[in-house]
Amino acid sequence: MLRAFMVIMGFTLFRVPRQPSAPKRAFAGLQLASILMLLAIFVAVSRRASGYALEGQHWPAGTVVTFQMGLGSAGRTLIDGNTSWDTAAAPALGTWNNVMARLRYNDTVTNPPVSSGDGVNAIVFSNTVFGQKFGSGTLAVTCWRISGGTMTEADVLFNRNQQFDSYRGPLRFGSNGWCIGDIRRVLIHELGHALGLDHPDQNGQHVDAIMNSVISNRETLSADDISGAQSMYAAPTPTPTPTPTPTPSPSGSRFANISTRMDVGTGNNVMIAGFILSGSQSKTVVVRALGPTLSSYGVANALNDPMLELHNSSGATIATNDDWQTGSQASQITSSGYAPNNSNEPALIATLAAGAYTAIVRGYNNSTGVALVEVYELDTLAMRLSNISTRGQVGTNQNVLIGGLIISGSTSKKLIVRAIGPSLASPPFSLSGTLPNPTLELHDGSGNLLASNDDWGSGTQAAAISASGYQPSNTKESAIIATLASGNYTAIVRGVNDSTGIALVDAYDLDP
């Protein structure tokens, strides 16, 4: 388990593939047959694969098309965890923005008029198409205005009387056998029309495209969709991220990365990771959550589709992401070098002022499993990551709580690592089911145990811990002060006698 975690942190590990059992081999044969058929179909389709279709008009180069989104509250929790239609659908705009240079979609959440010709680009639910019936079976309609040969307005109207939700993955169907419209993929398609793209499959083309007239399991852009958009609005030129002049860190070492891994549940048991930025300047960080990637390192029961939210200290949502490639920052994340390996994993880049922040990781559609949340510095400014904390359910074996640190720099760093349990039952947390007696271990990058502690007041470091100002408030809680050289480290929280419950692991920079 620990070794698997360390692989994520940059270590190597060999795994021996398992031989499938006899019944599994038969199934594997079936899978192989399906794969071969898929390949054959892919080859056949590829030979014909060319050609998006254009409506014939487009926006002037350089236009910023601002949509007023007024889809409103869903009034329930959607399959992907969103509660707002606007939040669920908004990534559709970024999906197109990522591939175009000469047009940009912006959005503002408001309550726009449902009208055409008013100069307002609206995305709304409506009972009618500007006063006319939708007709049964119509999910959404896109209308645009052209004046003097130039597009001047586009409106996307979703039929309020149809069944919508927001979900990733294959199409889902209601009890009536009809497709449940995934609002994001429908909006990606409709925004393609608003760009000037037509249905390739209705123009003699046979390509994989979200712009095809038939909704499918495709939920984001294909190469053909991108080619179509870029034929009108050009491909973006990657611009290198400006590199600020580094200001030396007050100490010669720093937290370059902090991460934690745990079993993500639902409700109070989702993964809640906090970090503190200290200093006087802003800092740009990458926050990402890994789930499926952990499987490839031998972690059992990895969270299949994690979702990530970033909140500030007041609880306000700063950014969210489900799948990193579908967000508006996909190209930046790729450029950062921290793009997750799996398309189901979320990541976001944020430039943050000094303060405390919280990253929440939950499973898509309330799924559960082991996930890892990480924060990486993207600059080396004096402002620094000074704390990481993660709260979650501590189980046994692979489901204990694990925190990771990367320390970079030429000098050692002094820090305190803590395992908090029973005090979470008190305000401001007021949680039930807390871990009654957490233990703490600190390991180096090779898995060697550097230090351990059960009750912080009973160890040899009790006085130093008190003097640090970070002493736990409950005597059953654990803490370790260590001075660590540059390298990778992990902190593991378990319950005494394999007890389980909610706990928090955190680390604070003790250097001035």
- What residue ranges bind another protein (CB under 8 A)? 30, 33-34, 37, 55, 57, 113-118, 128-149, 170-171, 178-179, 181, 185-186, 189-190, 193, 199, 201-204, 213-217
Q: How far is the CB of 22 from another protein (least distance, A)?
A: 16
The residue (of 219 and 309) whose beta carbon lies closer to another protein is 219
Whole-angstrom CA distances from 306 to 342, 362, 397 are 11, 6, 21
C-alpha distances in angstroms, 138 versus 130, 156, 157, 163, 185?
14, 13, 10, 11, 15
| Residue 224 or 506 having the CB closest to another protein | 224
Positive or negative, the CA dihedral 182, 186, 191, 192 is: positive
Q: How far is the CB of 218 from another protein (least distance, A)?
A: 10
Closest CA to 52 of 209, 278, 173: 209
State the CB neighbour count (10 A cutoff) for residue 251.
16
User: What is the smallest separation between the CB atom of 35 and another protein, expressed in angstroms?
Assistant: 10
Cβ atoms < 10 Å from Cβ of 61:
11
- Residue 456 DSSP class: G
Q: Which is nearer to another protein, 203 or 446 (CB)?
A: 203
Closest distance between another protein and the C-beta of residue 72, in Å? 19
Question: What is the smallest separation between the CB atom of 156 and another protein, expressed in angstroms?
Answer: 9
Q: Which one, 194 or 503, has the nearer CB to another protein?
A: 194
| Two tokens, residue 416 | 């305190």
**Which class for 53: exposed (0-12), middle (13-18), buried (19 or more C-beta within 10 A)?**
buried
Our CB check for another protein shows the closer of 228 and 404 to be 228
Closest CA to 262 of 459, 425, 398: 398
Comparing CB distances to another protein, the nearer of 2 and 35 is 35
Determine the Cα–Cα distance for residues 418 and 399; give it in Å rounded to an integer.
18
| Of 233, 152, 154, residue with least CA distance to 194 | 154
Q: CB of 186: closest distance to another protein in angstroms?
A: 5
CB of 228 vs another protein, minimal distance in Å: 14
- By beta-carbon proximity to another protein, the closer residue of 193 and 384 is 193
Yes or no: say if 308 and 330 are a contact pair by the CB < 8 Å rule. Answer: no
Backbone angles phi, psi at 123, to 5 degrees: -125, 110
Q: How far is the CB of 209 from another protein (least distance, A)?
A: 11
Over the range 167-189, which residues count as b (16 or more CB within 10 Å of their CB) and which as e? bbeeeeeeeeeebbbbbbbbbbb
User: Minimum CB separation from another protein for residue 59, in Å?
Assistant: 14
The least distance separating another protein from the CB of residue 206, rounded to whole angstroms, comes to 8
Contact present, 153 and 121 (Cβ < 8 Å): yes
Nearer residue to another protein within complex by CB, 20 or 355: 20
Token pair for residue 63? Answer: 């236009």
Q: Report the residue number, 113 or 244, with the smaller CB distance to another protein.
A: 113
> What stretches of 234-340 adopt beta strand conformation (E)?
253-264, 271-278, 283-290, 306-312, 317-321
**Measured from the CB atom, is 214 or 316 closer to another protein?**
214
Q: Indicate the pairing of strand 150-159 with strand 121-126.
A: parallel
